[in-house]
Structure 1
Amino acid sequence: MRIILAPMEGLLDFRLREILTQIGGYDECVSEFIRVNDTLLPPHRFFRTAPELKNSSRTKSDTPVKIQILGSDPNRMADNAHLVASLGAYGIDINFGCPAPTVNRNRGGAALLKEPNLMYSIVKAVRNVVPENIPVTAKMRLGYESTELALDCAKALEEGGAKEIVVHARTKTDGYKPPAYWEWIAKIKSILKINVIANGEIWTVQDAIQCQKISGCDDIMIGRGAVTNPSIALLIKKKLEERMSWQKTKEVLSSYWLSMEPDVEAVSRVGRIKQWLHYLSREYEEAQIDFQKIKRISNPKDFELIYFSELFSQIK
């Protein structure tokens, strides 16, 4: 089986990709989406989101990273895909799943699930200009408001030339509310010849087993579950018998803090630590306690005095 690390806008960025792939268990990563409008983006826009491009499109632990693009104009998507391929991308992934209202209002992400023909045209245009040795893949949801077009959308991606697809087992309207409808992934998989990767509501080893059983997929993608339990991929692959200790997890938190120091504003750094602690509190009681200590603190200096010095003193 393969386990792919999903992006999470505003948290699971290149810094956290580096940390989580260093812990191990992931076979591939996907970058946060890069929005394509009506222009050819400059190279630095891709390097900013995926600096791994400067390292043969791999994290320092040698995990390959696909570059994800999002947009609705087939020609512009093709132009930008061609550019990012020339920058050394391991693969190009196309986002048809983002449920964010601002993205959908601008005819991006999950909004395109209402237009299977356009999805086909986008994938086809990208596949036509990207060298054959670079895989073109896509991520979709089960639909916008309903699953009515789910099978049509999946076929459109296959016929457009996608090598494989990730299916997030909810509609846009469902958002991230449980449950995930893994049985729908099985329906999609049954009509396609290409590989299908299951995604959605995989928080534990048991969830992964159930998802594989119900969806019929060997491969899975994990996002929120990966930041909730940084060692989940190793546990699923039976390379660990028990989750990473809280002390080790605190060291991982400290590494993330230090990685943000050069170029992330202090207030944003505090916000990201809070956000990650919030996820970790689902798995670790200690994270719940720590989160209660700092959840109302917004001033970076106060945060450092109350929490930072205790958490990172060994690193500093």
Structure 2
Amino acid sequence: MKKTHVHSGMYAAVLSQAVGRAVLLWCVIILALVVWLFGIADISARADTVETQKLMFQFQNTRTKKLVLHQPDLVAFLSGAGSGALNADITDHRGTLTFSSSVDRRLWARVNGRWGEDGQRKDKYGFGAMGLHAYVRPSLIVGGMIEADYLSQAGTVSDKEGLGAMAGPYFLARNANHPLFFEGRFLYGRASNGVRLLGDSKERPDTRRTLAQLKMSGQLRYGITTLIPSILASYATDDVSPRGGGSLPEQGIRLRQIKMRLGFRHTLRQMNGAPFTLNGGGALSSTSTRRYGSDALATVNQRDGHGRVNLGVSYFTQAGGAIVIDSFVDGLGASTSQNYGLKAAFNIRF
């Protein structure tokens, strides 16, 4: 009986150890599954966040370039050239709208709108500006302006939308010896945005924006030759703050752009009392976009520059007719292919 009792105890101990090992193994397997599942979910969440950051950067980049491009030209308030206008071109799936008030008023307004639909992609953009200025001297204007812009890009993969406003001072000055005009502005504002990948919740980050511009333009006359210089320098920022709403980390862009042009008109001879003129010139443009923020973004800083030259002749008759021939080469120094061509226009009145 004693021997049987000892064997039973040994069998019970062996069985208990086997059950313990099996339970421990299952615990390890379950723990590994939990870690694996949570790790995959975390990686997926990080991947979605990175994609949303890239989407937001692309939206910031597009919006900032449009903001710089649509800034109103204020030189007309000193030169007196130009007038109020309203233009609209609307079809079933796209349209454009522009409005500008008269240049002889101290309170002015500018509006630009564009919308279009291409398959399942829909784009909308609107820009409006209003300002008020005073004449400190006949050759100096100081004023203030407010701007608002809206951009919406909807497609099959993502939706992007933003509404912003900016305000700040501006000035206009004229050289007393030559018809050269100087223009400057500094604007500060905010924007509310919404970006969403298909199937995900929408992020709603707010951004802070600044814009500074300096411009010089005009004409320099030297006998029968007229030089037409123009320089425009722009600096714009758009920053996302973690405290501005949404869960995106802090990120932003810096846009620097400079455009230079020098044109000329040279009267070759008079034909029947009307000038036969040689026209030409060259232009250079350089744009640099710098991204900063999360290291997870793979977007590199962008730099683009290109040049353009043109040469042609024109003849305007006293009766109002015109003959214009112009040749051009565009894309000099750019990474893309160059464009060149020849244009001719005839306008005869009788």
Bigger relative contact order (CA 8 A; separation at least 6): 1
Settle same-fold status: TM greater than 0.5: no
Q: What TM-score do you get using the length of structure 1 for normalisation?
A: 0.29
* Higher percent of residues as helix: 1
- Going by fraction, where is strand more abundant, 1 or 2? 2
Higher Rg of the two aligned structures: 2
- TM (norm. structure 2) is 0.27
